[in-house]
Amino acid sequence: MLITSRPLDEYCAFFGLTRARLRALPGPVLDCPGGAAALVAEARELGCRVVAADPAYARPAAELLAEAERARRTMARAMPAAPHRYLAPRHLPYEKYLRSWDRARRLFAADRATNPGSYLAAALPALPFADGTFALTLSSYLLFAYPELFGPPAQLAALLELVRVTAPGGEVLVHPLHDGAARRSPHLPQLRAALGRHGVRSELRGHRAPGDGRRRYVLALTRHRRYRPAHD
């Protein structure tokens, strides 16, 4: 599992977000898993509070950063080897993209050292937050990216936990909906049906990312009036 170092701009591209929307949120944001990303630090500059949760935060800082640097090298090999999975170099040269990861990793390291309370060692499906804590919850490159680690029952439990910690009126956004070989999860229809039985609305939301205009899909989850936390 890669410990990635993504900047705020990449989060916005993944989830169809804007800085204006983040500024306008009525409460904090959860990034789960947070990895070595710069979202916490960069969103703070917008006046938006983000809490990052990741089991990797239990590791020593030097070990975590070394793992993030290895992930950067992995991406440097993967992008030219499978260009159909990534933004074409004419839109964003690979090295420029990877330099944005380097900057994000530096921001993460400095911010975590200064604001350790914004980075919690925690793993799905049991997060240490009260019901309805967050106005927006983001989860990238985990539940569908690693189907060998998260089968359908684990995916359902994790998604219900993300909904539990998200406030009524808020939403959970999950990206991507495919694995590392770009194969869409075959269990998504059944998973959405199971979420519905728990009182969770689900929507497949598409948007065109900057650059090549390739369409990206996000799973958006909100509470229905019939919703009850899974632990009830």
For 146, the 3-state DSSP assignment is coil
Work out the average pLDDT over 18-27: 96
* Residue with more model confidence, 231 or 209: 209
Q: What stretches of 50-122 show up as alpha helix (H) in DSSP?
A: 61-81, 94-114
Percent of the chain whose predicted confidence (pLDDT) is above 70? 97
| β-strands 166-175, 50-53 pairing | unpaired
Please answer whether residues 39 and 113 qualify as being in contact, where contact means their C-beta atoms are separated by less than 8 angstroms: no
Q: Which of 35-44, 83-92, 114-123, 213-222 has the lowest mean pLDDT?
A: 83-92
The per-residue pLDDT for 216 is 83
Q: Give dist(CA 131, CA 114) in Å, integer.
A: 27
pLDDT at 232 over 70: no
The radius of gyration of the chain from alpha carbons, rounded to an integer in Å, stands at 17
Bridge partners of 175, per DSSP, are 140
Please tell me the pTM assigned to this model.
0.93
In sequence order, the β-bridge partners of residue 217 are 206
pLDDT beyond 80 at 214? no
Beta carbons of 200 and 227 less than 8 angstroms apart: yes
Mean pLDDT of 130-147: 96
* Region 164-169 average pLDDT: 96
**Do 220 and 202 contact (CB within 8 A), yes or no?**
yes
Q: Which range among 161-170, 175-184, 222-231 shows the weakest confidence by mean pLDDT?
A: 222-231
List the beta bridge partners of residue 166: 134
- Residue 168: its pLDDT value, please? 95
